[in-house]
Structure 1
Amino acid sequence: MDSIIFDLDGTIWDSVDTIVDAWNSSIQKCLAGKMQLTRVDLEGVMGLQADDISKKLFPTLDEELRKKVMDECFNADGEYIKKQGGQLYPNVKEVLSRLSKKYKLFIVSNCQEGYIEAFYEYHQLEKYFLDFENAGRTGLSKGENIKLLMERNNLQSSVYVGDTAGDLKAARFAGIPFVYAEYGFGTVIEYDYVIERFDKLLEIF
């Protein structure tokens, strides 16, 4: 094995509380406070692509308004995360430091463009990762982005670490093993490895 590719939300950190603040500020601006999201609402869409998130959270809005609201939400995301960050899971920095000495580390997420950069900026973790990809930049599915990143970096033997059924699907699409982070947001019944804490990666790898 030459590399480990990570999902971000629900795998490396929990940024839901920050995102709730950011998105509610945008909803207030676009919808004059006619609705408000909760942490539970956001947990239910973590890992989905933007269009699926918008349809699930704003099903009664017409397509044009839904897109406007989502654009505002995503724009607010980056600014809030740069200021507030998110909650790293226990021992993330130490584990990444140790793993990076042995493996090439990467991130592939369904997030919007700028989100991973904001994560790097707040928590100063960019030094552990060699590259990243996301749906906001490419418009591709997570599985397609994993394959794209692997090809770009000439990776021959990777694993993907994630917390949702969508992450499993992406790993299977890319033809690589899947490590299920069961402490995250999703429920997955099929996997190659499972970890109940982030530092359990050190026992596997």
Structure 2
Amino acid sequence: MNSAIIFDMDGTLYQTNLILEPALEATFEQLRKNGQWTGATPIEKYRQIMGVPLPVVWETLCPDHSAEIRQESNKLFQLALIEQITSGNGALYDEVEHTLENLSKNYPLFIASNGQTAYLQAIAETYQLTKWIKGIYSIDIIASGNKSELVATVLQENNIHRGFVVGDRSSDIQAAFDNQLISIGVRFDFSQESELEKAHYTVNRFDEIDKIIEHALNTNAFD
């Protein structure tokens, strides 16, 4: 198989920031109605940890709540996110569709995300990503919740021996390193420079990825 390209979803392909606040606000409004939360919705705290596995999200946002309440909160949040997606309130980043279309002509494309399956499917269906994406992998299938293991699963199931991981957080960069892949960090909404320091390449626009991949292959970056 040719060199594959594995993309993160949130903050890489999809502008989660557009739906994050209303979905989180709806979730915590329900918690307030249930008498399970007082005060403002911790939106800024969530922005700081965006991209981590969902159990960590709710441990961070609701440290004093029981595991049961955290699980119920996550269910409410997922439903709110999907409602936002299907209502058209989110968006892909600029040039994502055009770039994926171009790349898919020469490379197999995959998504490996810390998002849950139903959430990822809602985005894929709303924006018809399966025209270009060969497989969408959710962290749901990895008991450890480890992104590196998720990427390893993509490689194993599709007989991939070399390729790229494109993402905005340290877990994406680490997943590339752990699987001997080339990392491309994107400087979008949730990215932090400290997390992208170890990336092989970084981009400010999605349509810069084409040239990065071409350059890496032409200079034998895998050797």
Asked whether the two chains share a fold, i.e. TM above 0.5, the reply is yes
1:98-121, Cα deviation, whole Å (9 max, x unpaired): 000011000000011211111112
**C-alpha spacing 1:191/1:163, structure 2 compared with 1 (3 Å):** same
1:202 and 2:210 are equivalent in the alignment? yes
Q: Is the 8 A contact 1:134 1:142 kept in 2?
A: no
Larger mean Cα displacement after TM superposition, 127-136 or 84-93: 84-93
- Secondary structure of the residue aligned to 2:86 is helix
| Structure 1 unpaired stretches of 5+ | none
1:108-147 equivalent positions in 2, closer than 5 A: 108-139=112-143, 140-147=145-152
Q: Secondary structure of 2:161's match?
A: coil
Give the counterpart letter for 1:167 in structure 2: D
2:17, 2:189 within 8 Å by CA — same for their partners in 1?
no
- In terms of Rg, which structure is larger? 2
- Do the aligned partners of 2:21 and 2:43 also contact (CA within 8 Å) in 1? yes
Match of residue 221 from structure 2: none
Query: Helix, strand or coil for the counterpart of 1:102?
Result: coil
Equivalent pairs counted in the alignment come to 205
| 1:27-176 superposed matches below 5 A | 27-32=28-33, 34-37=38-41, 39-139=43-143, 140-176=145-181
Considering only aligned residues, what root-mean-square deviation do their CA atoms show, in Å?
1.8
Q: Is the 8 A contact 1:16 1:42 kept in 2?
A: no
Shift, 1:36, TM fit: 4.0
Could you report, residue by residue, the CA deviation over 1:48-96 in whole angstroms, capped at 9, with x for unpaired residues? 0011111111123233222221222123222321223522211111111
Quick one: which amino acid aligns to residue 99 of structure 2?
Answer: V
SS of 1:47 mapped into structure 2: coil
Contact 2:183 2:200 (C-alpha < 8 Å) held by counterparts: yes
SS in 1 for 2:49: coil
SS across alignment from 1:117:
helix
- Percent identity over the alignment is 26
**Structure-2 separation of matches of 1:107 and 1:204:** 19
Moved more, 119-128 or 59-68: 59-68
Question: 1-side partners of 2:158 and 2:136: how far apart?
Answer: 10
Match of 1:179 in 2: 184
Give yes or no for contact 1:181–1:198 (8 Å, CA) kept in 2: yes
Q: Is residue 24–residue 43 contact of structure 2 (8 Å, CA) maintained in 1?
A: no
**CA distance in 2: counterparts of 1:34 and 1:112, whole angstroms:** 27
What TM-score results when the alignment is normalised by the length of structure 2? Answer: 0.84
Q: Map Cα deviations across residues 145-195 of structure 1 (whole Å, 9 max, x no partner).
A: 101011111111111001111211222222211111122412221111111
The structure 1 segments of at least 4 consecutive aligned residues displaced by more than 6 Å after TM superposition are: none
Q: Which runs of 5+ in 2 are unaligned?
A: 214-223
